[in-house]
Amino acid sequence: MTETPKKDTAGLLAALAAGIKGSGIEVVDLTHTLTPDFPVMVLPPELGQCQPFRIEEVSRYDERGPGWYWNNISMSEHAGTHFDAPAHWISGRNLPHGTVDQLPFEKLIAPAVVLDFSRESAVDEDFLLTAAHIEAWEGENGRIEPGVWALFRTDWSKHLGTPKYLNLREDGAHSPGPDASAMEFLVKERGIAGFGTETIGTDCGQGNHMSPPYPAHYILHGNGRYGLQCLNALDRLPARGAVLFAAPLKIRHGSGSPLRVFALVPAGAGKD
């Protein structure tokens, strides 16, 4: 248990609230709007399919409900900006607390480091993040501490609404992602809490053809770590110093969930 004295904690929270309300701390929304045309993962059609977000109006101040407006929504656990729990992947199927209803809450609020490889991704749609890339990043930005969210910035979120977002061709999707060495490094050498991307999954578009297949999913979830994907606005975060809030819906035995992800950032620290 933590040794922090109680009065300091209260002061800390008050200072945080004051910082958010007044100035000093900027809240950055990292979530895309859930819309029916938001793409989902494409799998061979004979397999079970990921249902995109759908919304059906129940009433809108009309004969179906004169004084109120509300909708029914439906979607896959993995639609829009969403969270992957360890149980999402076969490698994490036997881990304790592996579903979204059982996650240890304190791990979901954690500092974030932003690995900016947007320039590399702009010239190479199949850019693979390797352990060597991360070590080079640490050379400039310092060592990645345990328990942080590692966010992989590619600026891919800017392709949303265009075919480039999935970049689907006959040989599958083409978008950047990490290789197994990067994931092994982040998970085992650095002990990150989770890994977040701007693309449709934590893996690259061609992840199925890697070893192991879908290395980010396999290694993250096999070691009890989390995934965040379809993130937005990573270009507004500093390389270090942001604190991420990423709590999924409490779905019994859920493998993941759409969620609102936001970050607290020291004002003026955002990049670009």
Partner 1 sequence: MTEPISRPPKKDPQKVTRPPELPPLERSRASLKLSASAARGVFALQVCEACGTIAYPPRDACPGCLSTGLEFRPADDGGEVIAETVVRTSTDLYFRQRTPWRVGTVRLDCGPSIVAHLHGDVVVPGRVRMVSKLDKSGNAVLMALPTGETENMADDLEFRELTADPKFRRVLVTDGRGVIGQAVASALSKAGASIVFVGIAEPWKPFPGQERLAAIPNVQVMELDLTDTISVNELAGEIGGKTDILVNTADHVRPGGLLASRSLVTARDSFDVNVFGLQRLAQAFGPGMRARGADGTNSAAAFVDVLPVYALANTPDFGFYSASAAARHSLLQCLRAELRPGGVRVMSVFTGPVEDDWRQHVPPPKVLPGKIAEAVVAALRGGIEESFVGDVARDIATRFLDNPKVLERELGL
**179 or 198: whose CB is closer to partner 1?**
198
User: Binding to partner 1 by residue 117, rule CB under 8 A?
Assistant: no
Report CA-CA distances (Å) from 4 to 93, 239, 241. Answer: 35, 28, 21
Q: Which of 163, 188, 208, 212 binds partner 1 (CB under 8 A)?
A: 163
Indicate the residue among 144 and 166 with the shorter CB distance to partner 1.
Answer: 166
- Checking 130-134 for CB contacts under 8 A at 24+ apart, the result is 130/178, 130/179, 130/181, 130/182, 131/181, 131/182, 131/184, 131/185, 131/189, 132/181, 133/182, 134/182, 134/185, 134/186
CB of 53 to partner 1, least distance (A): 9
- Judging by beta carbons within 10 Å of its beta carbon (0-12, 13-18, 19+), is residue 4 exposed, middle or buried? exposed
State which of positions 31-70 bind partner 1 (CB under 8 A): 36-37, 39, 42, 45, 48-49, 51-52, 54-57
Q: How far apart are CA 71 and CA 144, in angstroms?
A: 43
- The reply on whether position 260 binds partner 1 by CB under 8 A is no
267: three-class secondary structure by DSSP: coil
Tell me how far apart the alpha carbons of residues 219 and 201 are, in angstroms, rounded to a whole number: 14
Task: For residue 131, give the amino acid letter.
Answer: A
**From 117, 137, 149, 165, residue interacting with partner 1 (rule: CB under 8 A):** 165
Report the residue number, 78 or 133, with the smaller CB distance to partner 1: 78
Which residues, in sequence order, are bridge partners of residue 59?
A: 70
Looking at 32, 82, 88, 221, which residue is catalytic?
88
17 to 36, contacts with partner 1 by CB under 8 A? 36
Closest CA to 178 of 145, 140, 216, 126: 216
**Cβ 37 to partner 1 shortest distance, Å:** 7
Q: How far is the CB of 220 from partner 1 (least distance, A)?
A: 25
Pick from 64, 119, 169, 253 the residue near partner 1 by CB under 8 A: 169
Q: How far apart are CA 153 and CA 211, in angstroms?
A: 23
Please state the closest distance from residue 218 (CB atom) to partner 1, in A. Answer: 24
Length of the chain: 272
CA distance 66 to 88: 41
88 is catalytic: yes
Closest to partner 1 by CB, 51 vs 208, is 51
- The nearer residue to partner 1, 54 or 250, going by C-beta atoms, is 54
User: Which residues contact partner 1 by CB under 8 A?
Assistant: 36-37, 39, 42, 45, 48-49, 51-52, 54-57, 162-163, 165-166, 168-170
Task: Cite the active site residues.
Answer: 88
